[in-house]
Amino acid sequence: MGQAVRGGAVALTFGVMAVVTPALASTAEDPGRRVALVIGNQDYQFVEPLVNPINDTKEITRVLQEADFDVTVGTNLSKKELEKVVRRFLRELNDGDTALFYYSGHALQVGESNFLLPVDAKLASQYDLEFESLKVSHLLDYMKAASSLQIVMLDACRDNPFEIGSLFWGEQEYALGKTRGLRRIPNKLGSFISYATRPGQVAYDGEGPLSPFTSSVVTNALDPSLEIKDLMTKVRDEVVRKTGGQQIPYEDSTLVTNFYFVPPKPEPIVTAHHRVSVPIGSDASPLSIPEPVQPEGGAIVATLTLSPEKGVLRLPGGRTVSEGDTLDAVELASLEFLPDGSGAGDVELIGYQVKDDWGGSASAIASITVVQAAPVPDDGAKELERKERLEQLVAWLSQTSQGSAVEADIGVGPVQVYADAPDEGLPATDDWLKVVSVDSDLQLSSDGRLLRPGDRFPMSGLSTLTVRPQIGSETQARRFSLELPAESGSAGQTLTQIVQPRVTQCDQLATQPFDLQAVTEGRLANDIDSAAVDRVCADAMEAYPEIGRFVFQRGRGAFAAGNLTQAADYFQQAYQMGHVRAGQVLGRMYFLGAGRDRDREKAVELYSKAAERGDAYALHSLGMAQIKGEGTEQNEKAGLEKLLQSVEAGHTFSFNAIGGFYLNGNHVDENVDRAVYYYNRSASREDIYGYLNMGTLYRDGLGTPQDFEAALGWFKKAHEGGHPAAGTAIGLLYFNGQGVEKSAEEATRWFRESAERGDAWGAYNTAWMLGQQSGEAAGRDRIRMLAMAAVVDPSSSAAGKGREDLKGANNRLKAMVLQQALTDLGFEPGPVDGQPGRKTRDALNKFFDSSDLTPVQGDEALIALVKYQWEQSRPRYDLF
């Protein structure tokens, strides 16, 4: 028994159990958005600070916002903050988007790869790179999986400032020295990557407030004539001149389409045919040509292309104008006509073409009918009605904006601001509202057109006005301001609307950590209140039936409650709606056989799809499957790379998995110090698996002084957090009398508690303890525990031992356990006498028919029954 128990502890303690805990859920986003991540790291804590990254970041952000990018900004980021801001950026992306990443700060070339460094990077240990950096190629892969066009701009080609001579990435050690610049990143189709200087060379901060590279980019990016490749040609020319040829920017493009930072602008809006009547023999009459409008601001000029054959065109000051003359928009609207030489019934035409600052143009005409006497406008009543409705709408808008804040849920797409605005029937080209200001964390749109300060939209489009709050903006209210139209009698008057972004209760209570379609950071499995989650996520599903994130998170509540069938249904529905993490969790259920037949090939298929999107949980699960060859061909190198990507994202499951490999020399060379390093990193993030592994190190004196009291403390922290195996570890201390008084009773109690939580070694060790007792009751209990050992993880050594011992167990007792399970489940197998007959066989068939499980015989039937029974107790599969 001693060997079995000790072996069980080590096997379970260092085997990492993939938790299935929960929010790109499919959201109602407009396709083709522009989304950017801008990072500037300047104030490094352990090497000399840089000069310009913060200024660079501010200016790049300004330019990108003017170019209609939704910008996520991070400055002076620690590693944890870097992980968080990258997740926030990836959460903003959807298929069809343009994704841009700009970085200014320290970066490092290690081997064939480039790594960005947070401000708390120390690189004091050879093993620090995996925990203190971000691999650029990984981020580009994630961007590519979630967007249609990718742009990367790296102003980070500086000398290596760290003193470390070599660094490990996985099993490979790389010598550093004073490496220069960055390497060329392998570029897949559809991406544009620009570097501040050529590969292997160094970029400079320069003498001004901006680096030479960034200064040239921000100066030229908003030139509407410059496609991105032409832009970078101009940037290269300027930087070479600024640095005397010492720095030569470099780019690598696989784009198959053109990209301009200045997005296409709408054409100017004009009234195609304006009709007016003037009396014969009168003085000059105003033509009241509607003023042309460029909705996104900027100046408009009008060139007369056709003048009247008779009569005179002039401005209010008396200056005459004619064909070929150029007027501004206000002058065009103020034109007057003097019917000199015109007779009653004559129709004169004015043609004009308007152009805006971006080269957009539109043509229109005005027809002037000369009449005998001043016309009595037959549309006066309509015009009066229009003005009255405009005044009513302005009053309504003013009153509404002064009322309560508009509440806007984050991550549900654009939210209508004035859905009830009484704007129906107003002309689309009259009475324009002007956007005065918009807080940077809001996207303001009308009729699907993104609005920036200076843009205009018609009052008739007020009911289509939407806001889309950025992820992370829920901490305080946001605002936008509008200038009212001049005709309302309030020229120049502005009103301000308060918007309160909020995170739904479903997101607050059920988001899963590292979910790239979430809108918040999430809760661990042991923090889930399943009843509350079911309630609030049901409300969210009703409010937003098109968003898979809420379906997934409701499934997470069902999973935590042990309702496996319902959970799987929710996960399947969410996965079909495009929620990536739902696929990973479904894969885990197939992998474990949780509530369904085990199918590890199906699991790996689901893991792979989620891993492509950068899902940390899927990267971990796929990496473990590849390393062990479970459900896929064994590939330890590829599997370890997946785990390192998961480590880079901050996922502590992979911290513990790799630590276990190094401790035991499994799949990698044994390195106890590196194992301790990984476990310490996990525990420092308050991870229950890190707690358990730290306890084991102290218990066994591996890489640390042996300390049973410290070990017990770590084990209890893990147990309190819900770790299924922590009770087994505590039971071992009681069994061996290590740091506590030796007690078989206490050991058995702790083993059994872990077994009921779903730990295979806890079940096997409980069975071993029961094997030391006599009597039929202990014998039957032992057999049930041997079956339990095979239930949760059939590939574990505990499961193998359980099956082996079960095979040699007393057949009569096994039959009694099977009959009792059928009886408890209501299938009426006849008497529990250990002599199965027709009734028992019929009951067993009914069980398999009703449970939708594949029928099996013998010990496998007993294991299936025990597993099904155990699952009815709603165990925390989401903690495995």
Do residues 554 and 532 make contact, with C-beta atoms less than 8 angstroms apart? no
> Nearest Cα to 332, choosing from 310, 312, 313?
313
CA dist 697 and 663 (Å) reads 10
pLDDT per position as a tens digit, 728-786:
999 999 999 999 999 999 999 999 999 999 899 999 999 999 999 999 999 999 999 99
Greater confidence (700 vs 182) lies with 700
Q: How many other CB atoms are there within 10 angstroms of residue 661's CB atom?
A: 25
CA dist 795 and 664 (Å) reads 18
Residue whose structure tokens are 């218990």: 699
Q: Per-residue confidence at 7, pLDDT binned at 50, 70, 90?
A: very low
Q: What spatial distance separates the first Cα and last Cα of the chain, rounded to whole Å? A: 26
pLDDT per position as a tens digit, 723-739:
999 999 999 999 999 99
pLDDT per position as a tens digit, 620-677:
999 999 999 999 999 999 999 999 999 999 999 999 999 999 999 999 999 999 999 9
* H helix or E strand, kind and range, residue 530: helix 530-543
DSSP 260: B
Instruction: Supply the pLDDT for residue 778.
Output: 96
Residues in the chain: 880
> What is the DSSP pairing of strand 406-409 with strand 494-502?
parallel
Judged against a pLDDT cut of 80, whether residue 416 lies above it is answered with yes
- Token pair of 344 as six digits: 């009653």
Q: Per-residue confidence at 10, pLDDT binned at 50, 70, 90?
A: very low
Average pLDDT over residues 495-502: 96
- Integer CA distances (angstroms), 141 to 66, 148, 185, 776, in order: 27, 12, 11, 60
- Helix, strand, or coil (residue 591): helix
Residues 82, 84, 89: CA angle, nearest 5 degrees:
95
pLDDT per position as a tens digit, 567-596:
999 999 999 999 999 999 999 999 988 878
Query: What is the DSSP track for 738-762?
Result: SSS---HHHHHHHHHHHHHHT-HHH
* Alpha-helical runs (H) found in 339-465: 380-401
pLDDT per position as a tens digit, 201-252:
777 666 678 999 999 999 999 998 899 999 999 999 999 999 898 899 999 9
777-799: buried (b, 16+ CB within 10 Å) or exposed (e) per residue?
eebbbbbbbbbbbbbbbbebbbb
